[in-house]
Chains A and B, each alone.
Chain A
Amino acid sequence: MNTLEDRLREALAERATLSPVDPDAWDKTVARSHRRRRLGGRALRGPGS
């Protein structure tokens, strides 16, 4: 029987593979950083800002 730590590693690794990644993420991030700069470092939107 695997230890809890082994099981955690396996479950997290498998779950992580299910996260989709946007191919346009870099362009969106650069645009967001430009918006932030225009506002003097404040986020226009986004969590935890």
Chain B
Amino acid sequence: MSALFQARYPELVRLADLLGADDPEDIAQEAFARLIQKQRALRDQDAALAYVRSTVCNLVRNRHRHLRVVRLRTPAGHDEASSEHAVMLREDRRELLAALAALPPRRREAIVLRYWLDLSEREMAATMRVSAGTVKSLVSRGLDALGKALEGKV
């Protein structure tokens, strides 16, 4: 478990960050804590990695749901385009990431898993717990939405 953690923890923190988590390390640590409890039930290292990736996606989605409720009472939330990290990026990349952050959560997940982690459709389907057809559709719709959002900007 320690070896998997050392090898993959940074990747899981970055995944949570790219999915828009407000505390990516908390998400990654919670996902690994759950994996530690579950590890005997998982057949191998690949299954463990798929489990922890899937948990990160679920935890970020749940966190966004929670924050949407909180923001109904207190506006002004996380804005990718003006976050302290984003301001260090080139303007065209900042715009692209801001458009990505505005996508519905499932489309954003699909885009990040495909174009950052380079997962296959099968791996994405296992991580997102949806069918391969749904994965294709989410990526395609996500790309369409990004293209439209960027029209005239770049």
Contact = CB atoms under 8 A, between A and B. Distances in A.
Given A12-B18, A15-B18, A49 B9 contact: no
Contacts, number: 115
A12 B116 contact: yes
B123 interface: no
Contact of B37 (A22, A36, A47): A36
Contacts of B137: none
A47 B96 contact: no
A29 B32 contact: yes
B28 to A, nearest CB: 7
Interface in A1-49: 4-5, 7-16, 18-22, 25-26, 28-30, 32-33, 36-37, 41, 43, 46-49
Main secondary structure of the interface of B (DSSP, over half): helix
Nearest to B21: A47
Contacts of B138: none
B120 to A, nearest CB: 15
B134 to A, nearest CB: 19
Interface of B: 2, 5-6, 9-10, 13-14, 17-18, 21, 23-30, 32-34, 36-37, 58-63, 66, 85-86, 88-89, 92-93, 96-97, 100, 111-112, 115-116, 143, 146-147, 150
Interface of A: 4-5, 7-16, 18-22, 25-26, 28-30, 32-33, 36-37, 41, 43, 46-49
